[in-house]
A and B are shown apart, each in its own frame.
Chain A
Amino acid sequence: MRIGRILLALLAIVVIGTAGFVAWAWEPPVALVDTPDPSSIDHERVQRGADLAAMGNCAVCHTTEAGKPYAGGRKLPTPFGTVYATNITPDPDTGIGRWSKGAFARAMREGVGRAGEHLYPAFPYDHFTRLSDDDVDDLYAFLMTRDPVRAQPPANDVMFPLNIRMTMAGWKLLFFRKGAQPADSNHDQAWNRGRYQADGIAHCGACHTPRNALGAEKKNRYLAGGSAEGWHAPALNAESPAPVPWTAKTLLAYLRAGFEPLHGAAAGPMAPVTHGLARVPEQDVQAIARYIASFSEQASPERRHEATKLIGRLNRHARESVGSASLAGTDQTGAVLFAGACASCHAETPQRRGGGINLALSTAVNAPDARNAIRVVLDGIHPEQGRSGPMMPGFAGAFTDQQVAALLGYMRARFSTQPAWNDLPDRVRRVRAGKDQS
C-alpha cells in the first residue's frame, strides 16, 4: 500500500534521524578520579579562584539560605520548570570531589556534566565558555579546597520533553557558541578585559539581556534588559531607564558598595552580586564597570540633558514635581501614604536623613516594568548580616494591594516623566502571590 510505504519511510527517517541526533549529541562520561588533596593545590590559584567565584556569584546559586556554602539545593524557577543547583563542594559522592580538571572544564565550557549529561543553561555555561584555561583551573583549585558537604539536591522538575537532558544538545545547536570571544579591535585592552570579565565569569547578560521563547539570550538585544527570580534586570545599554545615565565611576561605586547616591541601592538578586564584588580586587570591578558603562554612555543627548537638569534641580533643593502627570484632582491616598511611610528616609531634601535617595533618581520608579518597585516596597532591602549597608523595611504587612498600587502610582507621577504604569493593583496582587516569577 502506498500510504503504508510512506509511513514506513517516514518512520525510518525519524528513527535514523533520532539515532543520528543521539549519536551526535551523546557525550562520554569522564572517568572518576581520586579527590585531590587540598594541601597539594597551589595556594595562589586558590586565591584567584576565590576572586573568580566571587565575581561569578557561584555561592549564591549553589547554596540554599540555610545550607552550607556551595552544597547546592537552591531552587531556580525557569519558564520550563524548576531546576535545583548542584552540590559543587569536593564531596566525593554528592559533590564534584571526584571530578577531574577535564570534567570540570567541560562542564564550564561545554555545559556537559561528568557523566556525559547535558546541563541546563540555568547554569550559564554560555558565558563560562569564554573563560581562559587559567581561570578555569583557578576555579577548580578553589572549589576543590572548599569544605566537602554531603548533600544531595532535590531532583529537577522540568517539563517534558525538556526533562530529557539530551534535548539540550538541540538547544545548544541553535543557540550556544563555544569558546572564547576574539578581542574587539575597535576598543582598547582595558575594555576587552572588561568584556572578558562581564560576559564571562560575571555573566551580566544572563540577567540583563532578554531571552527568546526557548530561553536563550537574544544576541541582537544585548543588555537590553531581562529578568531574574521575579525581578526585572534593567537595560544597561542606551535604553537604560536610569534617570541619570551610568558612568564607569558611578557603576564602580555601586557594584562595590551596593549603593550609589545618584542611583540608589541594589535590590533583589543584584544585592548579593554587589556583596561578592565588594570582596574582589578593585581593578577587576573597575574593568567590568568601564565595559558596561560604555553601553550606557550611549544614552541620547536628550537623556543626558534631562539628567543634568534633574541633578541641578535636586541640588537646588527644588521641590516641584519631576513628573509630568498632574497630581491635582487625583486620589491623594498615594501622596498621604508617601508622606507618612516614605518621607522619613526618602525626603526630597539634601539631608538624606534615613539614607534613602530622592526617588526622582530611582531606576525602579522610572522603569517600564513596575515589578521592581513593587517588590522593593513589599519586601524592603536588607543588608548582609552584621554589615552596614542599605536598609529599607518591607511594607507587605502594612499595606493592602490597593494601597501599594496607590503609593506606586503617586510615586510614578511625582518622580518620573515616563507614562503611568498600567494595571497596578493587579500587578501588585500577582507579585505578592508569587506569580511573575521568571
Chain B
Amino acid sequence: MTVTFTVNDRQHQIDTDPSTPLLYVLRDDLALNGAKFGCGLGQCGSCTVVVDGQAVYSCLLPVAALEGRRVTTVEGLGTTANPGPLQRAFMDEQAAQCGYCIAGMMMRAHALLQQHASPSDEQIRSALEPHLCRCGTHMRILRAVRRAAQGMRSAAAPANKDGTP
C-alpha cells in the first residue's frame, strides 16, 4: 500500500506494510536519524515528531494514518550549517549529555512554542512530562527551551530604526 505524506516539507510516497510505525519509515526508509527508538511503547518520548502541529509518538503511529499529513522532524528545524532557533538554543546551552533524548524533547518543545510564544516554566515542564532523560540534563533542556522562546520572540518583534532587535 502506498501512502503519500510530507516530511519536512518534502513529499514522499511510501510503499510498505501500512501498519509500520512512522519511526521505522523515518529511520529506515528516509534515513532520518532524529526520531529514536527508546521504548516503542509511548513511554519515553525519544521518538517524538510533530504531525500537523501536534507532538506525537512516531513509534506508535502507523503510516496508514499519515495520508496527506505533514510531519516535521528535528532535521526540519535546521542544519549544522544553518541551525534553527531551537537548535541554536540547545547548542548554546550545551543541553545534552548523551543526547539520545534530545531530538524528541526538541520536537515537543517545537510544538509547544508554535502554540505558546511565551510559555511559563510550569508550562514547559508540563509539556515535557512525557519525556525521559536518564543523564539528568533536565535543567539545561528547560533553559534551552526558554532561550529558544526568547530568541523566537525577539526575532518576531519588529526591529528598531537603529537596527537593534
Contacts and interface: CB of A to CB of B under 8 A. Distances in A.
A403 B62 CA distance: 11
B54 A340 contact: no
Contacts of A173: none
B61 interface: yes
Contacts of B19: 336-337, 339-340, 343
Contacts of B38: none
A398 interface: yes
A41 interface: no
Contacts of A318: none
A178 B43 CA distance: 48
A393 B61 contact: no
A340 B64 contact: yes
A345 B20 contact: no
B54 to A, nearest CB: 3
Interface residues of B, number: 20
A350 interface: no
Nearest to B48: A397
Interface in B77-99: none
B65 A399 contact: yes
Given A398-B56, A398-B57, A336 B64 contact: yes
B60 interface: yes
Nearest to A385: B129
Contacts of B42: 380, 392-393
B41 A403 contact: no
Interface in A394-426: 395-400, 403
Interface of A: 333, 336-337, 339-341, 343-345, 354, 380, 391-393, 395-400, 403
26 contacts: A336-B18, A336-B19, A336-B64, A337-B62, A337-B65, A339-B62, A340-B19, A340-B60, A340-B62, A340-B64, A341-B60, A341-B65, A344-B41, A344-B60, A345-B41, A380-B42, A391-B43, A393-B42, A393-B43, A393-B57, A393-B130, A396-B54, A397-B55, A397-B56, A398-B54, A400-B65
